Every structure is written in structure tokens, then in C-alpha cells.
Structure 1
Amino acid sequence: MEIFDFGIGWPVTKEQDDLFINTLEAECAARKLSFIFVDDASLKDISTAVKSGKLKIKFYLDMASETYDFEDKFTRFAYRLKDAGTRIVADPDDVKAAADKSITHFDLVAARIPVPFTVVIRHWESRRRLSEEEKIGLGSPFVIKPALGYGQQGVKIISQKPNLKDIAEARKFDEEDNFLLQEFVRPQELDGSPAWFRVYHLFGEILPCWWHPETHVFRQVTLKEMDNHKLSPLIRITSEIARITLIDWFSCEIALNKKNSKFVVIDYMNDQCAIYPQSQHPDGVPDDLVIHIAGRIAEKAWEYVMGRFTLRYRAVWFPKVKVKEEEDKF
């Protein structure tokens, strides 16, 4: 049997200058972890080898499967690996529950995690009418989003008061999916920037970033900003989402609501995080963060392969700062 310590599923052919993949390979090599890259071209042969017992992958990072599509080749491959005893990030069964906003919403509410006022429209309620209380809670404008959507797909901002026609039109994106109607959250501004954050959870580590909701440009939150703007709720909220969803690596969006100066979770949980670097894409992830994420994933894979038991912990990773900034703080 051929055994690989680390595997990654990737839907397209690897590019030579892919910072994330190249860093992952280098970090695995530094730890003497054997590495296998699974793309669309190699998937069939690798899957057949796993099925026949000729190949085993110990730790697999799934960046390719369509969790709810059981005809998807990468989804079936993820389950084949799981059945063979592979440690998968993220486990497809955990993702099935956590990625469905119509499920996760109520889990967050039960845990008293702040979310926007929300009405869930089930896919069988095509003629569902809103009560006056629901219309008032949603306000105008409001947001319609599919429960299984990701990457802004299917999201619509409705400028007028809620009505049946708008809901029916939005549901055409996927009439078999549930939909969430949510109040539109306007963020406060902090030092001239909208207080809107994309926060990563990475095996117990919290990585907070400023994220502009219009330009989608990232910038890491510094230690000084965390203290000055009292941003510690980002840590607690993201950690609670991780506890509820059981997902090791994900991102969420959290905003400081202009209406009441309270933090609110806008986007609950996104696995298979987009990880293209800022040096190549203006709206990409800061390069230092891409490198750190790749290194930490390789480290957790090494711990798993070595059979080490690691306690979950909560930590925050900040970008490197100039010495002068640290002196100014104290």
C-alpha cells in the first residue's frame, strides 16, 4: 500500500505561483510529511486506488467538494476517504449541518450569539406571507439569501418593503433551498473604516481581519486596534461558532451594528475559505496570513500523523508590527 501523510483536494490544475499550495508543500516537506495533490485530472485514479486498498491518505484538506451534491466526484471521494479512516478537514458530515444557514441560524440563537433579525422561508412555503411584526423587524432595505449559498451567490438586497413578489423572485435562484430574510446591517465606522470583519478560525486560533463590504479588501487587525476599539467580542463569537459547528477551519463575517453599537454575525460559517493572495489579487487574503494558515494546517497534520493529542485552545494571531508602534502603545 502507498501511504501519503497529507493530501489536498483542489478543483483545478495547480498553478506554479500558487502561494498557498506551494507553502503547504514546503511546510509538509519541512516536517517530512509525504504530500499528494488531488485535482480533477488525477481524482479518478487516486479514488480507485483508495477503494482497492492500494493507497491511503492520513490527513486530507478538502478544498473541492460540493457538500450537498452527492453526484459530485470530490464529495464522493471525501466520503470514500472518511470511510477509509482519513482525517478530513472539514468532515463532510459536519459541513452538511454547519453550512446550512437555516440550521446554523437557530443554533447560534440558542447559544445567544447575536445575529440579524431573520425570517426563515422553507422551500415548501412558496406563498408564505410575512406578518406585520416580521415586516417591521426586517425593515427596508433587507437581505434575501439562500441557506446553502456561498460567495455572495443568490444574495439580493431588496430596497423596498418586503413583499411576496420579491421573495418569489429571489427563490428562483434555487427553489429547492430554504431562504433567509434578514435585516440589512449598516456598520459603524472606526477610524474611517467600516467596522466589518472577516474572522478566520484555524484549529482554535482566531485570525481577525478588517474586510470592506463593498471593495472586499482585507487588512489584518493589529493588537493595538484590538485594544483601542475593544474588538475582543470577535474572538469570543468566532470561538463559539467553532464550538457549535465543529469545523476546524472556516471564516465568518461580523459587523459592529451602527443601529445599536453591538457586534452581529452577518455570515455564519464558510468552509473551504478562498485563499488567493493579496499580492496577486487586490481583494485577496494578505500574503502573511496565507503563509501562516498553510503552516498551521501542516503543523496540525503533523501532530495527527505523529499521534499527538492536542488540547483545543484559544489564541489570537496578529500581524507583525514595527517596534515604534509597540513603543507608542506603552
Structure 2
Amino acid sequence: MRYDLCLPWYWEYDEAFVGMVERACIEQGISLWQIKPDNLLESITALYKGVLTFKTLLHRGQGEPAFDPIPRWALEYGAKRINPAEVSAWSEDKATMHLELINAGLHTPHTILLAPFLEQPVVAPIDLTPLGESFVIKPSNGGGGEGVILGASSIEEILQARMEFPEQKYLLQAHVTPRMIEDTPAWFRVFYANGETHPCWWDTSTHIYANVTAEEESQYRLGRLRDVTKRIASICKLDWFSTEIALADEFVVVDYVNDEIDTRVQSQALDGVPDEIMESIAKQLVKITKENL
């Protein structure tokens, strides 16, 4: 038997998102194969014996090595992979994306790139003046804020930071101060899925989202958020991701590409993604599946 869509997952907080995918599959007449820890062994066995196969993979089993044979099978047998691992790895490299976005004419924070400690243990003298009094230090492949140092101000902090992830490049970035719009910092996270964009106000301290309404988009000329996000999509080639954009003098892409989206929804977690956005994302991912039949 061949399923249209295979969805491996194990994180309990993915449950609401999986339910949205399941409903979208039912609406579109798409067969869904969920692979979870309780059926993982039998599913992988059936897959590699050819008893069960699939056309499209939406992989939420990242980080659990026991799930790795599933995307490996998909690659070997030419199944459609939503956000293929090699594309994700390339687009998640902040140093690479920084250069790609600049080449595409997008605005980013003033940034100094440093080679990995293992490649270049001693760095040449660095002029930190363009970064301002304090700046951000971040590893090129960190996620979820891991390894990020806010409010750094000295070369000593930089040298120490490079030791934490010695195999990674590092970025030194100037802080971006957003404009205020109706007493709210103009800081946004935009979700992208298969051509659709969903801009949200995003509070950097509480991580709470609020939809950018059509009225706000028109009144404050925020439509450029969609344009910038689609331009990023054309560069990174991912099917779905989020990006962080601040409005200062220009729209500045602050956190370039996050492809392993936290799918917790707002109805279940204060800092979750608005439910209607996640519902729309699920439908778009199922649309990719249908187009691959």
C-alpha cells in the first residue's frame, strides 16, 4: 500500500498541528500515514520491506535518530520531501544566509562574520565601532537562541563565545532598534508556507504573537513584510519557514530562516502560533502533497 503523505512525529506539542494536517488530508482526499514512537519499528520495517510506502514526507521526527531511516528512505526512493534536510542545513547557516540576503538587496543588521575557532583559533584585530556600544554574538547554526549572547561589548566576550561551538562560524551583529507603531515596537515574525505569508507582531520579551490585520497592513504600510518574506523563500527554497523582520529606517531581516517551526498553537500555549495561521500552514502542506500525486 502506498500512502500519499507520511508524517513521522513524536513531540507531544505537535499533536494539535498533526490534527490540522489530518483534517486537511480528509478534506482533500489524501491518505495519511502517521508514524509515532508506538508504531515506529513496525512502520520502518514495513517501509523497507516495501509493504507500505509513501509519495510525500512531512518529517517532524528531527532530533530523534530512530526516525532517521524514514527520510533516508525518502531520499533513496525519490519521494517528495517537504523541507529536504540538505536544503534546511544550507538555509539554516546564518552566515551563508546573511551573504545571500545582502546579494539579493535585502537589509540585514550590520554584521561581522568570523571563521570557526577550529579553523582560525586566533582572529585578526576587529574594529567593533560599527556595531555600536553593545551587540549580539550568535553561532551560525544555533537555533532557539542557543549560544546567542545579547548585549555583548568586548572582544573578550567574542573570543569566549567562539569556544562554545568551535566548529561553527560566528556572527557579530549590531542591535536593531525598531520604530514604534501605536506604542508597539515594529517587530514581526512572518510565517511562510508554499507561497502564502502570514505576518505577526512579535514581542521579543514575551514571545507572544498577534496577527497583523489587513487594516494595520494598509494603514502602516506593512505589505513589504510579505514581499521580503517571499524574496527570502525564493533564496532559501524551503517549503515552509518563519523569519524575523524589524521595521527601523527600513525593513531589516533580523533572524533569517527558521525551518523547524514550533507548532504549538495559541489556544494551548500563550506563546504559541495563532491557531488560524497554523491551520492555513497545514492546508498548504497538504496542497503540496496533492500536487505531488
Does the alignment reach a TM-score above 0.5? yes
Q: Secondary structure at the match of 1:291?
A: helix
Is contact 1:141–1:184 with CA below 8 Å preserved after alignment?
yes
Per mean C-alpha deviation after superposition, the further-off stretch among 267-276 and 170-179 is 170-179
- 1:4 corresponding residue in structure 2: 3
Could you say what secondary structure the match of 1:42 adopts? helix
TM-score (norm 2): 0.93
Contact 1:99/1:269 (CA < 8 Å) preserved in 2?
A: yes
Matches within 5 A, 1:94-133: 94-123=87-116, 124-132=119-127
Q: Are the structure 2 counterparts of residues 101 and 303 from structure 1 closer, same or farther at C-alpha, using a change threshold of 3 Å? A: same
Cα distance in 1, alignment partners of residues 130 and 125 from structure 2: 11
CA distance, structure 2, for counterparts of residue 187 and residue 159 of structure 1: 19
Deviation at 1:103, TM superposition (A): 1.2
1:326 match: none
Q: In the alignment, is the contact (CA less than 8 A) between 1:140 and 1:184 conserved in 2?
A: no
Alignment correspondent of 2:61: 64
Structure 1 residues 1-330: aligned runs within 5 Å: 2-12=1-11, 18-66=15-63, 72-123=65-116, 124-132=119-127, 135-160=128-153, 162-163=154-155, 165-257=156-248, 261-305=249-293
Tell me if the contact between 1:12 and 1:40 (Cα under 8 Å) persists in the aligned partners. no
Partners of 1:137 and 1:277 in 2: CA distance = 39
CA contact (8 A) 1:122 1:177 kept: yes
**Deviations along 1:114-146, whole A, 9 cap, x unmatched?**
1111111111223214432xx112122111111
Q: 1:217 to 1:14 in 2, by over 3 A?
A: closer
Identical residues among aligned pairs (%): 32
Task: Indicate conservation of the 8 Å contact 1:147/1:180, yes or no.
Answer: yes
* SS at structure 2 position matched to 1:62: coil
**Cα shift at 1:179:** 1.2
3-state SS in 2 of match to 1:199: strand
Q: Determine if contact 2:44/2:69 at 8 Å carries over to the other structure.
A: no
CA drift at 1:204:
0.8
Taking only aligned residues, the RMSD between alpha carbons, in angstroms, comes to 1.9
The whole-number CA distance in structure 2 between the counterparts of 1:263 and 1:146 is 23
- Tell me the alpha carbon deviations over residues 266-323 of structure 1, each in whole angstroms, 9 at most, x when there is no partner: 1111112111111111111111212222222222312222xxxxxxxxxxxxxxxxxx
Give structure 1 stretches of 5+ with no counterpart.
306-330
Q: Distance in 2 between matches of 1:12 and 1:283?
A: 17
- SS of the residue corresponding to residue 269 of structure 2 reads coil
Matching residue's letter, 2:16? L
* Letter of the 1:140 counterpart: E
Contact 1:12–1:39 (CA<8 Å) still a contact in 2? no
Q: State the distance in 1 between where 2:189 and 2:12 align.
A: 28
Dislocated runs of 4+, deviation >4 Å: none
